[in-house]
A and B are shown apart, each in its own frame.
Chain A
């Protein structure tokens, strides 16, 4: 996957990703229309399919609302790269199949507007604008299995049908 980077800082919380005033719906496209609104009010208008969010520490802290990764995914974001993720966001992203990668080096050395390519299976991130390559932390096998099956629901279906 390949896209333009949108850069955010530390502690981007779930209220910034999708404010509660829009949580009276579960429709992914409606949520996507307001994604990142309280961090950057123009974001939803700028983002194109395949673009990548790059953030610093503790991305997705705050509430457990799955509406946050759902909105990001529905907006066409192909991957979120961060220095670190808050735990519920991390879990939710894996469960719904939003690609995420943790790499402090990549997070610090990618700027707004850089072209970035990502090889998810290998955890390889390349900043095509600067030519620098970064390696993300690998996922434990169990989480890979959830992701490879297309998310937790598919994984549970598979487990139930196997038993």
Chain B
């Protein structure tokens, strides 16, 4: 009887021939990640353990991205605590403002998330790296502290749900739409505690950027991880940037899945998630009249180069609607720079958008575009919970970058075709 990707990766890291869903294992971790909100708590807990040094200074990444560049004095204190810890422990992958990016855009780009690895991060969207074939999952700060000391963590082996996406993608449909559609079908706890494996001809055809966007939102279905088996597209991306050797893991042909669902993507149009849960999805053609105050293009879901290129294709030569504030946030310094070289930033500024340095910012209601009571925003982010982007009486809608850009022009939720 074969194993799924999650089972094989966990077995290998736990030094076992095989594991089964439900088993509790201690497994080696290849990377431990924290940010300016979660790492300060982890550092306090790490101090209580009483070890002097972290297990491996090359296997910890610390990224100030949520409230940075520091939005207020207290955030500055949090960042300082993390910076001092990074210096004291000589953490190799501490990314200072100016060299950083949103963690889940940054780590893949830096070659720090690789096929076959186990990565835990004190951030729920750590599952993003499943797009490269890593078992990556979000944990809390205490888990991060323990892993910084031990280099391992405890895991319950999850059952795996297999989702097969076949067929030809319609225009403007991306990985973001496939995952929104899926969450709309199974609900925000539809994959609770499970590993999701995505495959099929439509997945093979997705770019790495689009795959990362898709796996990013596995947590929005309650999953532990969302995995795509490494293929040539993956290897072409990771090989030139990998910071350490890696060994890809593929699912066994006779892997046992808890369930398997097949979708025909030619039936899926760009999706919009309505407030206040990512499962409240509908096709953009069924969005109706939703007037917007703000549009945000960015975040660890859709702040990558492909996303900015898509947005620029739609915004070129157009202006943002007078009642709308358009905020565009490249995911990393490199993406920012590349977007500048390609002239995308010019297109955005011509369209009267705000372009910001990389930061989570408005995605979690931190800074750089907080909503007032009664305001509505369309964002390429991943969560639209009550109060997520500001006032508890504001509303957040989620979409892909093409729909977001088109909607910024029309002032209401719109399909890309409406402005082209």
Which residues of A are in contact with B by a Cβ distance under 8 Å?
11, 13, 15-16, 19-21, 23-26, 38-39, 41, 57-58, 61-67, 69-70, 84, 86-88, 91-92, 95-96, 140, 142, 151-153, 156-157, 159-160
| Interface hit among B48-56, B231-239, B329-337 | B48-56
**CA distance in complex: A91, B141 (Å):** 11
**Are B277 and A11 in contact (CB-based, < 8 A)?**
yes
Which A residues lie within 8 Å of B49 (CB)?
153, 156-157, 160
**Are A15 and B122 in contact (CB-based, < 8 A)?**
no
**Are B142 and A24 in contact (CB-based, < 8 A)?**
no
Which A residues lie within 8 Å of B150 (CB)?
156, 159-160
**CA distance in complex: A95, B41 (Å):** 13
**Are A95 and B140 in contact (CB-based, < 8 A)?**
yes
**Are A63 and B124 in contact (CB-based, < 8 A)?**
yes
Q: Chain B 112-145 against A: per-residue CB contact (8 Å), 1 yes, 0 no?
A: 0000000001111010000000000011111101
| Interface assignment of B67: CB less than 8 Å from any CB of chain A | yes
**Are A87 and B222 in contact (CB-based, < 8 A)?**
yes
Min Cβ gap A12→B in Å is 10
**Are B143 and A24 in contact (CB-based, < 8 A)?**
no
| Interface assignment of B192: CB less than 8 Å from any CB of chain A | yes
| Interface assignment of B364: CB less than 8 Å from any CB of chain A | yes
**Smallest Cβ-Cβ distance to B154: which chain A residue:** A142
If the complex has contacts A25-B74, A61-B222, A153-B142, are A84 and B41 also in contact, measured as CB distance less than 8 A? no
Which B residues lie within 8 Å of A41 (CB)?
392
**Are A57 and B139 in contact (CB-based, < 8 A)?**
no
Which B residues lie within 8 Å of A70 (CB)?
41
Q: Chain B 300-337 against A: per-residue CB contact (8 Å), 1 yes, 0 no?
A: 00000000000000000000000000000000000000
CB-CB contacts below 8 Å: B359-377 with A: 364-366
Between A and B, 8 residue pairs with Cβ closer than 8 Å are A11-B188, A38-B387, A57-B189, A64-B140, A84-B189, A87-B224, A153-B49, A156-B146
8 extra interface residue pairs, beta carbon distance < 8 Å, beyond A58-B189, A66-B41, A92-B139: A16-B386, A62-B385, A66-B38, A70-B41, A88-B139, A92-B142, A153-B145, A160-B50
**CA distance in complex: A69, B142 (Å):** 12
Which B residues lie within 8 Å of A84 (CB)?
189, 192
**CA distance in complex: A136, B48 (Å):** 32
Q: Enumerate the 6 nearest inter-chain pairs by beta-carbon distance, A residue then B residue, closest first.
A: A92-B140, A24-B74, A66-B140, A58-B189, A95-B142, A64-B138
**Are B383 and A15 in contact (CB-based, < 8 A)?**
yes
Min Cβ gap B367→A in Å is 10
Which B residues lie within 8 Å of A142 (CB)?
24, 154
**CA distance in complex: A63, B385 (Å):** 11
* Residue from the list A15, A95, A153, A157 in contact with B385, Cβ < 8 A: A15
Which A residues lie within 8 Å of B48 (CB)?
153, 157
| Interface assignment of B159: CB less than 8 Å from any CB of chain A | no
| Interface assignment of B45: CB less than 8 Å from any CB of chain A | yes
**Are B385 and A86 in contact (CB-based, < 8 A)?**
no
**Are A86 and B192 in contact (CB-based, < 8 A)?**
yes
**Smallest Cβ-Cβ distance to A13: which chain B residue:** B385
| Interface assignment of B44: CB less than 8 Å from any CB of chain A | yes
**CA distance in complex: A13, B366 (Å):** 17
| Interface assignment of B78: CB less than 8 Å from any CB of chain A | yes
| Interface assignment of B388: CB less than 8 Å from any CB of chain A | yes
**Smallest Cβ-Cβ distance to B22: which chain A residue:** A140
**CA distance in complex: A11, B220 (Å):** 11
Min Cβ gap A99→B in Å is 16
If the complex has contacts A26-B41, A38-B387, are A20 and B365 also in contact, measured as CB distance less than 8 A? yes
Min Cβ gap B128→A in Å is 13
| Interface assignment of B149: CB less than 8 Å from any CB of chain A | yes
Task: Give the interface centre of B122, B222, B277 by most chain A CB atoms within 10 Å.
Answer: B222
Which B residues lie within 8 Å of A25 (CB)?
74
If the complex has contacts A15-B387, A87-B224, A95-B142, are A156 and B149 also in contact, measured as CB distance less than 8 A? yes
**CA distance in complex: A28, B166 (Å):** 48
**Are B142 and A151 in contact (CB-based, < 8 A)?**
yes
| Interface assignment of B85: CB less than 8 Å from any CB of chain A | no
* Residue from the list A39, A61, A64, A152 in contact with B38, Cβ < 8 A: A64
